[in-house]
Amino acid sequence: MSTMVGTAVAVEAHDSEYDRLSELKAFDETKAGVKNLVDGGVTEIPRIFLNNLNSNTITPSRRDQPSLHSGIPVIDLQGIHENPSLRKKVIEEVRSASEEWGFFQVVNHEIPLNVMEEMVKGVRAFHQLDAEVKKGYYSRNDPTKRFKYYSNFDLYRAPVTNWRDTIAYVVAPNPPHPDEVPQVCREIITDYTKKASQLGDTLFELLSESLGLNPNYLKSMRVTEGFLMLGHYYPPCPEPELAIGTSSHADSDFLTILLQDQLGGLQILHDNEWYDVPPVPGALVINLGDLMQLLSNDKFKSVNHRVLAKKVGPRISIACFYRTGYKGGEAADIVYGPIKELLSKDNPPVYRETTINEYLAFYDNKGLDGTSALPHFKL
């Protein structure tokens, strides 16, 4: 970030006459999101979007050095169900990526390319509906809505408002009735999330085996019972150097499956440097969440990542989160802690036991502020 930009952010952040809460409420009450600002021809971002978090500061990054992209693993899943030697190789690749990066991409994952492309189109189509139509789905705090539209889940808690709108679809438990989902994306959301769920089963098997456990170990812990899909829409930003698409954060789940379009912008923090996660045609991005790091007793990493705001757009991404008992599901009170089979005298537990409800209450209240929730649960 340039000195001029940093100064502007500092001035805005410390302006005693600036009523941030009123501006947040005014934005929220439009029920039209960031896209409405862009459609209205905004040329300067409103103050609530000024990025004043050090963890989000946009500095020259390794994205300018394409050769360093090669460090983020791309894992080929073809043949893992038929060929034991191939499966063994992939398990080792998953283990290495999970320990070193917390992120990897997968190809030949059995979700057809046309389904992925249609999913991106479906999410884009919803966000490009007439604003009055979308307002009927807008919700911030109604837990009964299994499909909803909003901008920034942590709008009133996070220090920086993100340049992003979102749809949320609860896949499991208790998905919405089809009539609750807009027709423009109804069929493809059902198709894509069904296939993503099957991929999730495979990934949890590979992760279990990479921990030295039987393939069904993680699934037996009911980690697949909660499944949430978010469809993000990042409009073009008139001042991307002042804003952030998604603030630096680590995910609050066990595992995330991300479909991103070809626009790019996702970065992960590795060895204190921001690395691009370049779009690979046909690939899906996989990352481990905080709850997986807790289960593995720090063997696997949950790492911070962010999305840059851009002049061009919209950028579309679809994230599927595995998190048991999302917002009060029946498994929300299951107690999770470091897997006992991984512990020893030389590897004592790092974390105390907790429940999904307790973890989410802390994580959601904190918002995306660039800090990890995990230290709060350390012994």
Q: Identify the three-state secondary structure at position 3.
A: helix
CB 231 within 8 Å of CB 161: no
- Among candidate residues 170, 165, 167, 139, the one with its CA nearest the CA of residue 152: 165
pLDDT of residue 174: 86
Question: Tokens for 226?
Answer: 């909660």
CB 351 within 8 Å of CB 379: yes
pLDDT of residue 57: 55
| Lookup result for tokens 């539209």 | 149
- Among candidate residues 379, 150, 105, the one with its CA nearest the CA of residue 258: 105
Question: Tokens for 254?
Answer: 């066990």
| Lookup result for tokens 């020259």 | 60
Q: Identify the three-state secondary structure at position 351.
A: strand
Q: Which helix (H) or strand (E) holds 189?
A: helix 183-210
pLDDT of residue 365: 85
Please give the average pLDDT of every successive group of 10 residues along the chain, which has 379 residues. Answer: 38 65 97 97 97 62 43 93 97 98 96 98 98 96 89 94 97 91 97 98 98 97 93 98 96 96 94 93 97 98 97 97 70 89 96 92 84 92
Q: Which residues contact 140 (CB under 8 A, 6 or more apart)?
A: 28, 150, 153, 155
Backbone dihedral angles phi then psi of residue 325, each to the nearest 5 degrees: 65, 45
Q: How many whole angstroms separate alpha carbon 364 and alpha carbon 328?
A: 13
Residue type, 1: M
The string of DSSP letters for 129-159 reads S-HHHHHTTB-SS-TT-SEEEES-TTTTTSS
Q: How many whole angstroms separate alpha carbon 58 and alpha carbon 68?
A: 18
Residue type, 87: R
Strand partners, 170: 228
Look up residue 271 and give its DSSP letter.
T
Q: How many whole angstroms separate alpha carbon 296 and alpha carbon 207?
A: 10
What count of other Cβ atoms lies within 10 Å of the Cβ of residue 290? Answer: 22
Cis peptide before 236, with omega less than 30 degrees from 0? Answer: no
Backbone dihedral angles phi then psi of residue 302, each to the nearest 5 degrees: -110, 115
CB 37 within 8 Å of CB 165: no
pLDDT of residue 7: 35
- pTM here? 0.91
Question: Tokens for 50?
Answer: 């000024």
Question: Tokens for 368?
Answer: 């995306």
Q: How many whole angstroms separate alpha carbon 152 and alpha carbon 166?
A: 7
